[in-house]
Amino acid sequence: MAFFQGKIHFWCVLILCCMSLLVSSDRRYTSPSVPRLTDVFPRVSIDRGFSKVFGGSNIQVINGSMATLALDKNSGSGLASVNKFHYGFFSAAIKLPAGLTSGVVVAFYLSNADVFPHNHDEIDIELLGHDKRNDWVIQTNIYANGSVNTGREEKFYLWFDPTLQHHQYSIIWNNHHTVFLVDNVPVREFQHSSSFFPSKPMSVYATIWDASEWATHGGKYPVNYKYAPFRVSFAEMEMSGCISNPTGTVTSCARSNPSSVDPVEGPEFVKLSSQQSGAMDWARSKLMFYSYCKDTKRFKVMPPECK
């Protein structure tokens, strides 16, 4: 009897392992071919372009081109750009922590909350440690003109394992639209709306922090510091935009036309190409699992851009 029970146990374990492999690999796709916008703009030195804003002892800058940020039981850590920008192309190659990362959030985003605490703008790429599996998801979000209670969140699964190597996460922000890209594949486009669109100069941030209460259903799956420190690597940083002075006046632009307030204004940035639009349709149909435009419980009246 013990022999048969042992065999049954073996086959049950084998089946569960196979199912686990299928679940973990069912979203490993080959992405469509797209233009490599990350090759268009120069990379910036982290030690020159950024300053430490919190958790300084948890930040290591390597040769000026790569930074490791850590979260431990004492603190998270974060960098902020030395300059503020008005429109531009912003990108980072990020390698995420492996293992059980529930409650851990890695963010690459634009914000001016330090200058406009009650009326701020924000464009977010937030990478969320999964609350039940060893997966990561990406959340994109936009706040405009202080509407901190009405963010525009959308969530996606990734089509690769983001812990094995660096992948590029990018933002286009100009007078026409805001576009979120992963490995140059657009996953979301938010068209310029006069009523809701980030309009004031912003800093660029790279952070890792404990978001247990916010990101795991009110703390249901908090960060397990038994697995700390959690380390994220940022590299290949790009920030090409019009630089703004403390008064909010644009003083210089990274593109050839210094009078422009839109440094990403060429045809490849004004609107998505048919190739990019097709790639975005692919990403949204296969990988998006939440959109605020479908959240009727949260929005009794849908925001105008959803109609």
pLDDT: is 200 or 94 the higher one? 94
User: Looking at residue 97, what DSSP letter applies?
Assistant: P
pLDDT tens sequence across 45-102 = 999 999 999 999 999 999 999 999 999 999 999 999 999 998 999 999 999 999 999 9
Look up the CATH number of the domain holding residue 65: 2.60.120.200
User: Confidence class of residue 193 from pLDDT cuts 50, 70 and 90?
Assistant: confident
Q: How many domains is the chain built from?
A: 1
Q: Is residue 134 part of a domain?
A: yes
Quick one: pLDDT at residue 239? 95
Quick one: pLDDT at residue 267? 76
Quick one: pLDDT at residue 147? 65
Q: Is residue 107 part of a domain?
A: yes
pLDDT: is 36 or 213 the higher one? 36
Q: Is residue 1 part of a domain?
A: no
Residue 206 scores a pLDDT above 90 = yes
Quick one: pLDDT at residue 232? 98
Q: Is residue 300 part of a domain?
A: yes
Rounded Cα–Cα distance for residues 212 and 162 (Å): 20
How much is the average pLDDT of 252-263?
A: 51
Determine the structural domain holding residue 165 and report its residue range.
29-306
pLDDT tens sequence across 143-191 = 997 766 678 999 999 999 999 999 999 999 998 999 999 999 999 999 9
Q: Is residue 16 part of a domain?
A: no
Which residues are the active-site residues? 122, 126
Q: Is residue 238 part of a domain?
A: yes
Q: How does the average pLDDT of the chain come out, rounded?
A: 86
Q: Of the candidates 75, 42, 73, 43, which has an alpha carbon nearest to the alpha carbon of residue 58?
A: 75
Q: Is residue 258 part of a domain?
A: yes
DSSP letter string over 181-244?
A: EETTEEEEEEE--TTS---S-BEEEEEEEE-HHHHTTTTTS---GGGPPEEEEEEEEEEEEEEE
Range in 84-93, 107-116, 249-258 with the lowest mean pLDDT? 249-258
Q: Of the candidates 65, 126, 57, 53, which has an alpha carbon nearest to the alpha carbon of residue 96?
A: 126
Q: Is residue 146 part of a domain?
A: yes
